[in-house]
Structure 1
Amino acid sequence: MQLVKKTINPTGGKHSATVIFFHGSGDTGSNLVEWVRFLLGRDLDFPHIKLIYPTAPLQPYTPLNGELSNVWFDRRSITIDAKENRKSLASIYETVHELINEEEKLGIPPERIIVGGFSMGGALALHTAYHLNTDLAGVFACSSFLNRDSIVYDSLKNRTKPGTDLPELKMFHGSRDLMVPSSWGQESYDELTKLGVKGQFSLLQNTLHELKKRELLDIQEWISVKLPPLTNDLQNKL
């Protein structure tokens, strides 16, 4: 599946790391870029990191009575108790693999790639880092959750390399989120940590189902630590 992608190229030219930022349901990559710019007053950019904002395919979405929407996968309903639509998820997995493989072909190894997202995009990021590719550098999820029967949990329980470190996790959730209650995000985080994930869950006070400037700044700082510039010798090998 060919995705429309909005890319923010590194200010220093050639990139040595990549961040893939998935938007929420019904949105687009370009709109997410504009939202970030509105909150920060600038792009979320780094001198050595490429940022990719893909747009989800247009497809029928059950919570909207089957209307077409830009969504990463279909849901039976927006609740933590709902069964995952694993057939729909499997379709977008192929697309995510393509995104990561494209970066690997450019010389960016998985341990120099971070995935993240808002709402449904955050859920896809969790699937990406803990079901599809546990070699990634990290994952961030904003206002997101996993269904209680998620294949992500099954994957972590049946890991073939249980002694290796999993991607570090940063989760954020608004205390006043009415669309995705913070308890869903907290429960998802707690389940992940029980299965070996290490990270941090931050509850944002007086915050609805939205991104906030302070969480973007926190994410930016964290990305800078997880994906520092390479030495000249390592950079020349990319």
Structure 2
Amino acid sequence: MDNATDLLETVEQETGPSPQWAVIWLHGLGADGHDFAPLVPELVRPDWPSLRFVFPHAPVRAVTINNGVRMRAWYDIVGMDFPTRADSEGVDQSILQTGALIDREHARGIDPQRILLAGFSQGGAIALAAGLRRKTPLGGLIALSTYLPGAEAAGESMADGAATQPVFMAHGAADPVIPITYAERSGQLLRSFGFEVEWHRYPMAHQVCAEEISDLGDWMAQRFAHA
């Protein structure tokens, strides 16, 4: 397993010269950084500023719920009970590794408030958990087909100013992997913390649909317009 201080390997795409914004996008369990790269042409609009998309590969680790098989994962899943299923040490490590990628974008000239942190499923869980702890707020958080891990104690580790980050959450009404009720509770909890959460549900399973991509594009366009 990669050490938490090692910079993760990434797949990158730039939509134009001298990117003004960065989108760091975390994949789901068992996938890799290539998984969402094909989404870029579907999502990006002609009038947007130049963007750098960064798709990191999660470390390879044993996943308990999958009989200990080693695969790319942002944390171990130790059981079926959602409040306790996420391995907290793995979550903490992935938050550190995500923070290192954010720091690299800052070093490359992109202000944190022009960085969007996105994720699907397990990756979305890390995006939300990392966002809560951000002492320097990002431009926004994107959480697709996911939930907030360790929700009961999440408020205790929340950083001052974190709630200024707008959140886009979307979920399938028929998701068999992460039931939508857990996502809805996470969205409600974030709102109780003061986050502005834009919530969407779609008639789909554990996946991404065209309408969702369009709605996400609208939300991102608002971020760019108000920068």
Bin of the TM-score, shorter chain as denominator length: 0.7 to 0.9
Kept in 1, the 8 Å contact 2:21–2:49? The answer is no
1:23 to 22, 27, 40: 27
Aligned to 2:43: 44
For the structure 1 residues 175 and 141, does the alpha-carbon distance in structure 2 shift closer, same or farther, using more than 3 Å as the test? same
RMSD between superposed Cα atoms in Å: 2.1
Letter in 2 for 1:71: A
TM-score by length of 1: 0.84
Percent of paired sites with the same residue: 24
Contact 1:19–1:49, Cα closer than 8 Å, also in 2: yes
Query: What aligned pairs does 1:99-178 form with structure 2 within 5 A after superposition?
Result: 99-133=101-135, 135-149=137-151, 151-156=153-158, 159-161=159-161, 165-178=163-176
Q: Distance in 2 between matches of 1:180 and 1:165?
A: 24
- In 1, distance between residues paired with 2:224 and 2:135? 17
Q: Give the TM-score of the pair, scaled to structure 2.
A: 0.88
Structure 2 unaligned regions, length at least 5: 1-5
**Offset from partner CA, 1:133-181 (integer Å, 9 cap, x none):** 451111111110123545533223xx445xx752001110101111111
Give distance in 1, aligned partners of 2:65 and 2:135. 29
Cα distance per residue 1:70-114 (max 9 Å; x no partner): 011112224323254221122222211110010111121111111
Check conservation: 1:130, 1:155, Cα contact below 8 A. Answer: yes
Q: Which of these residues, 211, 223, 233, is aligned with residue 220 of structure 2? A: 223
Runs of 4+ off more than 4 Å:
148-151
Equivalent in 72, 75, 79 of residue 73 of structure 1:
75
| Equivalent pair of 1:129/1:139 in contact (CA under 8 Å) | yes
